[in-house]
Structure 1
């Protein structure tokens, strides 16, 4: 019986195969194609029916996740359903959905990898005296004394001009919660000392307590502000001898360009350390609120008083060239009595020449503008000033300053540089007679590290950075210095100038 059933089931299949073999090749191909098409349609219909409920289920789950709830209607499922669902669906890391309620704003790139501190809301202060808020000049009441027309300062009985402002009624435009010296990292750049950082903080952020105008002999008067006594930088001996400033003071120079600030940073980057700290700062009562350069007042530069001017070395161009030939005080060797040497170390002139050439400061070694083509606005164009170049050996050098307690080293003051002088009109007279240059400064120029260090250094002074037009304006100034540095390196190679360590 079993054998009969197998033959009965196998007979139709055997008959079909026999008929299929008897067909022509074209009919066999057609039959195979029809069977394949029917099979494909069957698979498509079956898969579609399976994916439809799965897609509905995934859409519902996605809606529940994004809304933060499991059921839209607010009804909770039965405990048995929860158990079966927990047993069937095991949560994995790929099923976790992070929902953000607010898009994060892209932050700009930070300079030097620092984070700017959060600014607090400024506290508005009331001014008791409405005359203090005037911008064009210092204003004081006429009843207290005579007013100076040039600066608006009140003349005191003891000489000089003086204005006292109390902390409650005086507002110089600074924010006590915000520092203009941007040092966000733990340490300042290595070319700044701890004393430099303190001085910059004081000049940029200190509360102004008193303003003074001090007249000088044969020179424009100085405007000095006295700040809050934070950390005194000068000894009590100096304060008792000269009581012009009772604590820390700064000299205000409202000139175009603020080259004193750039000169200070360039000096520190090159490792010369001969300039006085200077920063940019705005005063609401002066220069129409524009940034002014403020230089730290150093009492040691004025052995007598501020009106008499700083201690300077009196020498002519011939005497200067003779001191370069004699190599005065080199290796601490005392010069002969008839050598004509001054009290300045021989290496100091090399540092001064390199510094003045990069900034094209001619007021020290070339006060008569004999080494370049001067412009009409230059001081040396005054009648009779440029004619001195006919007798160059007797030209008197100017602004050669040293401290009273340190007669061997120079102090670079009044650093008025020129960035608009073309490369074909540079003053090479500043390098005349120089046979050695400091190794540390020249290495910065040769290693192409000048731009990187100057950007990092100048960024600290936010007021100067913004007054020069930001990064774009600062780059233009550095471009000028880099071109002059390349010319100086070519000059060194062409004239065989030695590059030696100068640590004294």
Structure 2
């Protein structure tokens, strides 16, 4: 049966082929086109029927599962994640052509650190080293012996104990003296540039005084004068500094004078001097020494050997003047316009403008140990030094009272150096020392402009913030504001005095 069917098809194929070959070309083409159209019709109709059946079945399944989803009984509980995932497989989104693209978040550059925020530093953890027990015992005995020496040195009196040659001094070598963290400086400068009133040399000296490793500490006795406690750091002095360096047996490199904690106004005076543009004080910062002054913050002033041309034992180069001679020099305007005074005029080597700067500076801080050593211009207390030493009794003959602490350098005799800046913040406005302003007819324009601009507080805060040790020792912002309040009130009194007495405000670039 199968073979006959194939044989019959083969015969039909041969007859069609023979007839096809005998036909004309036009009939052949028409026949081929008719066969193709018939075949295409059957294919299209069959494919459309299959798609219709598949779509109908999909819609029925979708309706069935959606109906099941809305009729699920969870018995008052939320559906589980497995059930939700099973139902979600059959949920078709309304927009089938949505394309989801995941973008990486853009990385921004880190924000600029402001001047009032301190960056955090990561500290590397170090593994403990194994130490030989015998060596440790030897070191402990040595450190205990050195510690006993330091306690003896810290308990020494600040007053001289007699005439002692400064070449034979007590030199203290001790590793306990260096308490500075090498990674963190107490001088905080976070912006690109420091305040404009500081020079590059000021900043270098401040960083040395605050951060330098202490090599040794020496104490120099100067007879009746208070002794000097000087530390030597490992940073060598620059060439410009060594040009005027004398007495190198005192300090071979760069040094600083360690003052008592009660003299902390040295640091405030340094910043006030720079803010006012006077530039007459030595750089000073606050620093802690673990075995000195019970670990309290104490002012450290930059050592300047040019102030001691004949050595520490000979004390500072002081200009000798009485109150009467000082008032006479103010009237003669000594060295004004660089004109040399007459030999019999009684003028000193100090330029006339220097007294105006000194008077303004001393009045704001109420420093009387220069121009008013006997406390004649205010009501002193019984515990003040001028009363205890009997100097206040000399106010009956003021012209013969000797001025004190009038310092200049041997290579620069025209300019003053403000040292021993012991100011007083506890004097009220009704007990200010106006004797400091007596005879002054001019004041420096730059300093007065700062007082008039009402930016004194802003600049002092910006300046004092650099010294972290001093800032914290005064109680932070609250304590610093109290000190600035006193200076601002005295500045108002000074401006009123200038207007009332017709004092000129002129440029003093000398």
| TM interval, short-chain normalised | 0.7 to 0.9
Q: Contact conserved, 1:174 with 1:205, CA < 8 A, in 2?
A: yes
For 2:271, which of 265, 272, 284 is the aligned residue? 265
Aligned to 1:376: 382
In structure 1, the partner of 2:287 is 281
Q: Is the contact made by 2:257 and 2:301 (CA closer than 8 Å) also made in structure 1? A: yes
**SS of 1:413's equivalent?**
coil
- Quote the residue 1:323 is aligned against: 329
Question: In structure 1, which of residues 106, 116, 121 is the aligned counterpart of residue 119 of structure 2?
Answer: 116
Aligned residues: 415
Q: Show the counterpart of 1:462.
A: 468
Does structure 1 retain, via aligned residues, the 8 Å contact 2:208–2:235?
Answer: no
2: CA distance, partners of 1:121 / 1:360? 48
Deviation string, structure 1 residues 113-157 (Cα, Å, up to 9, x no partner)? 54434253698999753337859x7247xxxxx998548xxx999
Could you tell me how far apart the structure 2 residues matched to 1:367 and 1:390 are? 14
Determine helix, strand or coil for the equivalent of 1:402. strand
For the aligned residues, what is the CA RMSD? Answer: 3.6
1:174 is aligned, of 170, 180, 204, to 180
Residues 260 and 414, structure 1, Cα contact 8 Å, conserved in 2: yes
- Given that residues 187 and 468 in structure 2 are in contact (C-alpha distance below 8 angstroms), is that contact kept between their aligned partners in structure 1? yes
Structure 1 residue 217, shift from structure 2 partner: 3.1
Give the TM-score normalised by the residue count of structure 2. 0.74
Other-structure match for 2:42: none
> Given the alignment of the two structures, is residue 138 of structure 1 paired with residue 155 of structure 2, yes or no?
no
SS at match of 1:200: helix
Q: Which residues in structure 2 correspond to 1:51-450 (within 5 Å)?
A: 87-91=96-100, 112-118=115-121, 120=123, 129-131=142-144, 134=147, 138-139=150-151, 149-150=156-157, 158-165=167-174, 169-232=175-238, 235-239=241-245, 241-256=247-262, 258-450=264-456
Structure-1 separation of matches of 2:416 and 2:83: 83
1:229 and 1:133 mapped to 2: Cα distance? Answer: 24
Aligned-partner Cα distance in 1 for 2:125–2:370: 45
CA drift of 1:242 comes to: 3.2
d(CA) in 2 for partners of 1:179, 1:489: 38
- Between structure 1 and structure 2, the one with the greater Rg is 2
Q: Deviations over 1:190-224 (max 9, x none)?
A: 00000000000000000000000001132110000
TM-score, length basis structure 1: 0.75
Whole-Å separation in 2 of the counterparts to 1:362 and 1:428: 10
- Counterparts of 1:164 and 1:233, CA distance in 2: 26
Q: Which runs of 5+ in 1 are unaligned?
A: 1-48, 54-62, 65-70, 99-106, 141-145
1:173 Cα shift?
Answer: 2.1
Q: Which whole-Å CA distance do the structure 2 matches of 1:441 and 1:111 have between them?
A: 28
Mind listing any 5+ residue stretches in structure 2 that lack a counterpart? 1-65, 71-79, 106-110, 130-135, 159-163
